[in-house]
Amino acid sequence: MFRDSDVEPLVLRQRGTSAQAGDRALLLHGLGSSESCWDPFVVHRPPALDLWTAGLPWRSGGPYAVAERAESTWIDTAIRQVPGGADVVIAHSYATILLLQLLSDLVVAGADPREELGIRALVLVSPFYRKQPKDFSWAELPGNLTAMRRSAEDHIELMSRNGLDPGVRADMAELACARLGPYWAVRYLDAYLRTPFLALDRIDLPVHLVVGDSDTVAPPAEAEALAGELGRASMERIAGCGHTPMAERPERFSLAVQQFLATLSAGHTPAAVN
């Protein structure tokens, strides 16, 4: 399945259980990140939510080897391996593209994601999306790689307990990107470039998008465009927040998830919140 790697490509962990009967959520991290990006949210999780995290092949410390199958199939495997099934999938950054690709492929093939995977709602955090191929340009390609490096630096800063010297942080980000390598960078760009072709209007699931209003990696305008293409979507901006709301503003993020889940229990999707 992977070449030249003895690292387990997919690691599933239970991160929090609830004494109350509630939903079970699977948390999916972005490119070069890890399950640890969800730690602050785990601490502040909604009281009736059971949490599972998936350590995916593109995680920090992951295999970083050439895969013999499409990346979205790892999302499929992770969802299916959650004991009892995942009611809600909460995906961040790169994982949002792969999750939508999986669901798009299912509906195009005539399958119902609810019946096939058991999920009944999505939360997309800091998603990437472009509506048309012409929305991408040659000139912005170097900027995409710069954004990946900036994302790595932000993640390192968030996960450090006592803060880091900016020079040390920059060196660590450069090393992280070097370890990630060109394969995963190209796979990310390829998935991003294919977002205009997703069958979003056929994904009949409630979706809540959560973005930081100061995100410079995945611009909030892209989330707005994505919400407009999904049939049952709502959106929430978190003020003073960047690319990782669940780590930067975990209590506020938890409240957003809790309110969204409450609307599901009530049988409807909330109106968009800006």
Closest CA to 195 of 138, 106, 130: 130
Q: Is residue 155 part of a domain?
A: no
Q: Is residue 259 part of a domain?
A: yes
How many Å apart are CA 222 and CA 235, to the nearest integer?
Answer: 11
Cβ contact 5:64 at 8 Å: yes
pLDDT attached to residue 37: 93
pLDDT < 70 positions in the chain: 1-6, 18-21, 64-68, 161-162, 266-274
Residues contacting residue 135 through CB under 8 Å, at least 6 positions apart: 196
Handedness of CA 184, 190, 191, 193 (dihedral sign): positive
Does the pTM surpass 0.85? The reply is yes
Cβ contact 162:246 at 8 Å: no
Range of the domain at 248: 11-131+197-265
State phi, psi for 171 to the nearest 5 degrees: -65, -40
Q: Is residue 109 part of a domain?
A: yes
pLDDT attached to residue 115: 95
Looking at the chain, which runs of residues are DSSP E strands?
A: 11-16, 23-28, 49-55, 88-92, 121-125, 207-212, 233-238
Q: Is residue 150 part of a domain?
A: no
Q: Is residue 181 part of a domain?
A: no
Q: Is residue 76 part of a domain?
A: yes
Q: Is residue 156 part of a domain?
A: no
Query: What is the count of structural domains for the chain?
Result: 1
pLDDT attached to residue 38: 96
Three-class DSSP category at 139: helix
pLDDT attached to residue 76: 97
CATH code for the domain in which residue 64 is found: 3.40.50.1820
pLDDT attached to residue 119: 96
Range 20-23 contact pairs with CB under 8 angstroms and sequence separation of 24 or more: 20/47, 20/48, 21/48, 22/46, 22/47, 22/48, 22/49, 22/50, 22/261, 23/48, 23/49, 23/50, 23/87, 23/88, 23/261, 23/264
Q: What is the pLDDT of residues 137-186, one digit of tens each?
A: 999 988 888 888 888 887 777 777 667 788 887 888 888 888 888 888 88
Residues contacting residue 265 through CB under 8 Å, at least 6 positions apart: none
Q: Is residue 61 part of a domain?
A: yes
